[in-house]
Structure 1
Amino acid sequence: MIIIIAEKPAAAERIAKALGEPKKVEEGGAYYFQVGDKVVIPAVGHLFGLKQATRGSYYPVFEVEWAPTFEINKKNEYARKYLENLKKFVGVAEDVYIATDYDVEGSVIGYNILRFVFNREKAKRMKFSTLTKEELLHAFQNPTELNMGMIKAGLTRHTLDWYYGINLSRALTHSIKKVGKVFSVLSIGRVQGPMLYFLVKREREIRAFKPKPFWQVTLKFRLRGKEFEALYREKQIWEEEKAYEVVKSCEGKKGIIKDVKKRVVRKNPPAPFDLTSLQTEAYNLFGYSPKRTLDIAQSLYTQAYISYPRTSSQKLPRQLDLRGILKKLSAQKEFRELCQEILKGKVEPHEGKKKDPAHPAIHPTGEVPKKLTGPERKIYELIVRRFLSCFMEPAERESISLTVDVNGNEFLTSGSRTLKEGWMKAYKPFLKLQEVEFPDVKVGEEVEVRKLEKLEKETQPPQRYTQGSIIKEMEKRNLGTKATRAQILQT
């Protein structure tokens, strides 16, 4: 009998349906799927974790061992029935296929089940990036070997996280108890500690910051029947008297266009999403926390609407059937026109620099969503439109800068407008572009001075990290993994 181990129940059902017409068998509160001589059995994430091999809450401690998660934490009691479900097939397993997520954590989940339940070190590995029927069937028919490098990396990370987390947390807890005579459990970890350092460092900078007053002078003027606003060339005037003198010298005087600068800026399409850029964009647009975005993306992946979200890649490999995906997406009326436009030309995506050996950039599968929640619809459309943008032509924006002279005082204003939409046509719902169009003015043209204003302002402290910016900082400094950063932010 062929045993296929999936990471979660929903994935197990998808795999079973890709292989044929499965029979769902429920026993003891858990279930598996029978497809001929094949049995697809789900886990529920990690069924094994690390625990202290000896008793006591002393530190440092480095004696650890793997054990079922329900023995380590009573909250994980639900995992027992899934583990017992797997044990039923130990004696009849001729071949074992690991079909957990193809990443470090998925590899550890599958390998621990393989060695602790089936008492084996070798198995066949299904590698897939989407839960579509075609890709799952291909992954089953063309299995690879276990990636021991990925497995060892995961096992090592778990061990190091345990060493740092348990020992440092116990040291902190004991120190607080000793000094304050009270018992309060404090936690810190290998990633949590450095992240807190950056937050505390920024907070100290903010609290130590002393605002400094400065002044600005603004000019409102009329040009060919339209009103515009310009700022005095010296953006920060440190003496109020000087700002007052600028205003006085301009009052009652005429304004002249002293300089006109125009330039066309070519904007290339954005790269397809990796997880961090998706989380950052979703925070900026919708205010979704990184964890919420990941949870939504995981749901879309499980429903086979997008590819695997826990990726660092900004690449769309040529072996992907990109034309096929675009043709499928054209079945959705909101994307039809864009897809048809792209398919007329060469289907060549604009990509970023980041790579991931396990998975491509996040992309839609082309499967038509049947029913999505409001948040799922937002994230799905964001991913689809970003994907479509990658295949479109660069956009062109014209930037115009005007210098207005009023009695020897120079004021600057600028604006930009779109000349060629290009990829912005696809991504328009998520762009915040200001279209400011100046008349076709010439140097020496007179403008009507309408109002001069002296504004008092203060220098601003550094901004606090947001959930969107801290996750980018963590990636920049290689803290945590793409899969764990969102969860770490919650602790």
Structure 2
Amino acid sequence: MFVRDILKGDYVMKSLVLAEKPSVARDIARVLHCKKQIPGAMEGDKYIVTWALGHLVTLADPEGYDKKYKEWNMSDLPMIPKKWELVVIKQTSRQYQSVKTQLFRKDVSDIIIATDAGREGELVARWILDKSGCHKPLKRLWISSVTDKAIREGFANLKDGRDYNALYHAAKSRAEADWLVGINATRALTCKYNAQLSCGRVQTPTLAMIARREEEIRQFTPKEYYGLECTAGKIKWTWQESKSGSCRCFNKEFMENISSCIKEEPLKIEAIKKTAKKAFSPGLYDLTELQRDANRRFGFSAKETLNIMQRLYENHKVLTYPRTDSRYIGTDIVPTIKERLKACSVGPYKSVAGRLINKPVQVNKSFVDDKKISDHHAIIPTEEYVQLDHMTNEERKIYDLVVRRFLSVLYPPFEYEQTTMTADAAGQIFAARGKVVRSMGWKAAYDEKWDDGEDSGDNTVEPELADQSLPELTKGQTFHISAVRVTTGRTKPPARFTEATLLSAMENPVKYMDSSDAKARKTLGETGGLGTVATRADIIEKLFHSFLIEKKGREIVITSKGKQLLELVPEDLKKPELTASWEMELSGIARGTHKDTDFLQDIQDYTKELIQEIRQSGGTFRHENMTNTKCPQCGKRLLAVNGKNSRLLVCQDRECGYRETIARTSNARCPNCHKKMELIKRNDEETFVCSCGYKEKLSAFKKRREKEGAGVSKKDVQRYMKEQNKKSEPLNNPFADALAKIKLD
């Protein structure tokens, strides 16, 4: 038993547990033996378990304060509520009423907050309590995984709810500040330029980084460079510049002269250097690192990876809490490592994990450090039994990444001996390099499938010497040069962002932004860059859905709308320093060292300055994607836009909000080039179209697939279309999100 019965009158007093999601509530209810089903909750002898559905309560829309705000008028800005109002979200109002009923039961003595252990999780619960007017005593369940063991231990160590008051004030301040800046600036831009424009302290600097990369590419002038390779003693030697060690030269004539000079000359080995080296495991995953890897390896978007992780955490319970910014575990987790190894010792991991289970666990500061953990530790496997056959293919891929990282940190370093040889031919330096593996170490966790190719997005890095198999040679040996070849190449511009590299840029924006302010740079590093691990995926999705960016293959490019927005938006909102300063303040509020009232007063003053700047600006906005197709609702011409996975026509009138999908990227592959085809609907006929020119009607496609033994039923197509619709949910009003539920953090 976790608590004693408290008798009050004729009642046996109970504790009400408030979880964030139904799946977590079910797990808690099972552990607490709450088997009785009641509306919106589950009840037992000592506990009642209920749940939110994410946020049940949110900040009121502007029109909730004054009906005049239904009309968007510049003269009404800035909107600054004197008293913040909370409203129940209509779509989940029934569950809110169920939760409220349980809160005010006479036999409920206290509330146990069991929402996600973090700033936003605290806000979910506290807003419900504030809106309902419930003031019963609070306790806090703070756990990083939802296994039965973690739940039991968490209830055995409940915290005083008052200990998290400061965290709530930080969360509340963030939400109110985003409302003030996001909604006011969005309305001001939209009214000023009569276009659907939105901005925010995180999304706008992110857009600015994409624009800056595009400008770097546009201004880049490729240059031809040359290198020289020769073969001597069955080894490929590469020319190196004597001072810099560079393997390339921009003077073609100079390189051709060297080529002519060395053809008849011997090559003499001048030095042989052998160095024993160690390479350590890349470290455990936080959410951003996992999203990067999943995008680079599998093409998953940041949002897809987060959704998959959430299922592995909530439904399968095989991985710990996903929304973490730490890549370390605490000393309290170390005693559980053996149990976690046993749990994931299945299928392809059985032999790799088995070798660790039978030995003492070796830990070090590279992945165990209490000082480097904030709210949650790194993403690792739980102690829950794993059933791989119950996972989807996508879930298996993400689980595989996490498990192999977890196993790899428990293995010793990868050890190898690197040999570098330098030689002389006609006074020129040539080099060759080789590697001999001494111990696979942590790479054994990857079954020799380790891929260390980093997608850095930097194409200007000096190429390194390639490793090759080298025979045993001695200093002073000479060889005849049997072949000489002048190599050529062209310098490349920086690569466009992919979701993987954009996540890296958001995490470390100092690399991509101009800032000579040392304090600002330090602040950015301390606050973790733009946004948080939990919100970056949503920010990227929002930029796609606002048609400020689009995809070409895996590359992200800025649209004309995005470029124009950056010319119109106030300069401050394009800088990551703004988010950094906010996060520093919010962290101080969460620690209790800063006052939320002071922070919000500063935000109100800043909002007034923003509106004044927008009001006085003299820019213009022009739609460059206008079509001749008329909107069926208002008659105005529609705009052609590219969604993340589709092409659409949307109405230019922000108040109309009409949109129509005209083509959607499918999972069907072209029989000629094997690329994914678009599914285009014209009238009542649907046709697959490939970029290579191949076309095939949907009806013909189904017949062909049936003949190939992979029949596609009408039900399959309907299910597929339903999934596609989920991926690009239409927004009846593109500004609904900006008005009511804008989240820019």
Tell me whether 1:456 sits opposite 2:488 in the alignment: yes
For structure 2, list consecutive stretches of 5 or more residues without a partner in the other structure.
Answer: 1-13, 454-465, 509-523, 543-745
Give the Å deviation of 1:328: 2.3
Aligned match of 2:187 in 154, 170, 194?
170
Partner of 2:112, secondary structure, is strand
- Choose which of 98, 102, 118 in structure 2 pairs with 1:103: 118
Report SS of the residue matched to 1:65: coil
1:121, 1:275 → 2: CA distance? 35
1:192 aligns with 2:200: no
Bigger drift between 284-293 and 152-161 goes to 284-293
- 2:79 corresponds to: 61
- 1:91/1:375 CA distance change after superposition, 3 Å: same
**Higher mean C-alpha deviation, range 276-285 or range 144-153:** 276-285
- Alignment correspondent of 1:228: 236
| Cα distance in structure 2, aligned partners of 1:315 and 1:239 | 49
Aligned partners of 1:16 and 1:22 also within 8 Å: yes
3-state DSSP of counterpart to 2:441:
coil
User: Does 2:466 match 1:466?
Assistant: no
Range 357-366 or range 152-161, more displaced: 357-366
Pair 432,202 (structure 1): closer, same or farther in 2 beyond 3 Å: closer
Contact 1:330 1:340 in 2 (8 A): no
RMSD over equivalenced CA pairs, Å: 2.4
Of 412, 417, 421 in structure 1, the residue corresponding to residue 436 of structure 2 is 417
Q: Where in structure 2 are the equivalents of 1:74-89 lying within 5 Å?
A: 77=91, 79-89=92-102
- Give the superposition deviation at 1:231: 4.1
Mapped pair 1:4 → 2:17: yes
Give the 3 Å change call, closer, same or farther, for CA 327–462 of structure 1 in structure 2.
closer
Which amino acid letter does the alignment assign opposite residue 61 of structure 1? Answer: M
Secondary structure at 1:94 match in 2:
strand
SS class of match (2:103): coil
Q: CA deviation at 1:299?
A: 1.1
Cα gap change, 1:162 to 1:220, in 2 (>3 Å): farther
Matches within 5 A, 1:423-434: 423-427=442-446, 428-432=448-452
In structure 2, distance between residues paired with 1:416 and 1:23: 65
The answer (yes or no) to whether the contact 2:329–2:368 under 8 Å persists in 1 is no
> For 1:20, which of 11, 14, 33 is the aligned residue?
33
Q: Say yes or no: does 1:41 pair with 2:55.
A: no
CA distance in 2, matches of 1:219, 1:122: 79
User: CA offsets per residue over residues 101-135 of structure 1, 9 Å max, x none?
Assistant: 00011000011112212522741111111101111
Deviates more, 1:196-205 or 1:153-162: 196-205
Give the Cα separation in 1 of the matches to 2:374 and 2:136: 23
Q: In the aligned structure 2, how far is the partner of 1:435 from the partner of 1:220?
A: 15
Inter-CA distance 15–403: structure 2 relative to 1 (3 Å threshold):
same
Q: Percent identity?
A: 29
In structure 1, the residue matched to 2:336 is 322
Q: Is the 8 A contact 2:433 2:467 kept in 1?
A: no
Letter in 1 for 2:57: F
- Give 1:96 deviation, angstroms: 1.3
1:125 aligns with 2:171: no
For 1:152 and 1:229, the matched residues in 2 are separated by 64
How many residues in Structure 1 have an aligned counterpart in Structure 2?
A: 472
The TM-score normalised by the length of structure 2 is 0.60
Supply the distance in 2 between the matched residues of 1:9 and 1:448 (Cα, whole angstroms): 75
Q: CA deviation at 1:327?
A: 4.7
Structure 2 Cα separation of the partners of residues 323 and 356 of structure 1: 17
Is contact 2:25–2:50 with CA below 8 Å preserved after alignment?
A: yes
Other-structure match for 2:297: 285
CA distance in 2, matches of 1:450, 1:164: 70
Cα 1:221–1:374 shift into 2, 3 Å = farther
Structure 1 residue 213, shift from structure 2 partner: 2.4
Residue 367 (structure 1) aligned with residue 375 (structure 2): no
Question: SS in structure 2 opposite 1:381?
Answer: helix
In 1, Cα distance between equivalents of 2:228 and 2:48: 75
Q: Distance in 2 between matches of 1:160 and 1:448?
A: 73
Deviation at 1:10, TM superposition (A): 0.9
* Alpha-carbon distance between aligned partners in 2 of 1:121 and 1:87, rounded to the nearest angstrom: 12
SS across alignment from 1:271 = coil
Matches of 1:259 and 1:331, distance apart in 2: 48
Q: How does 1:137-216 map to 2 (within 5 A)?
A: 137-146=152-161, 147-177=164-194, 184-216=195-227
Once residues 480 and 42 of structure 1 are traced to their aligned partners in structure 2, the CA distance between those partners, rounded to angstroms, is 27
Query: What secondary structure is seen at the aligned counterpart in 2 of 1:411?
Result: strand
Is 1:332 paired with 2:346? Answer: yes
Change (3 A) 1:16 1:161: same
SS in 2 for 1:130: coil
Structure 2 Cα separation of the partners of residues 304 and 156 of structure 1: 32
> How far, CA to CA, are the matches of 1:118 and 1:2 in structure 2?
17
2:310 is equivalent to residue 294 of structure 1: no
Matched residue, 1:384: 403
Q: d(CA) in 2 for partners of 1:189 and 1:121?
A: 37
The structure-2 alpha-carbon separation of the partners of 1:326 and 1:140, relative to structure 1 and needing over 3 Å to count, comes to closer
Task: From the superposition, tell whether residues 352 and 91 of structure 1 become closer, same or farther in structure 2 (CA, over 3 Å).
Answer: closer
What is the distance in 2 between the residues matched to 1:386 and 1:413? 33
Task: Check whether the contact 1:48–1:66 (CA below 8 A) recurs between aligned residues.
Answer: no
In 2, distance between residues paired with 1:356 and 1:121?
31
Amino acid of the structure 1 residue aligned with 2:355: E
Q: Aligned to 2:102, what secondary structure does the other structure show? A: coil
Q: Give distance in 2, aligned partners of 1:37 and 1:383.
A: 37
* Deviation, structure 1 residue 229: 5.3
User: Are the equivalent residues in 2 in contact too, given 1:257–1:442 (CA < 8 A)?
Assistant: yes
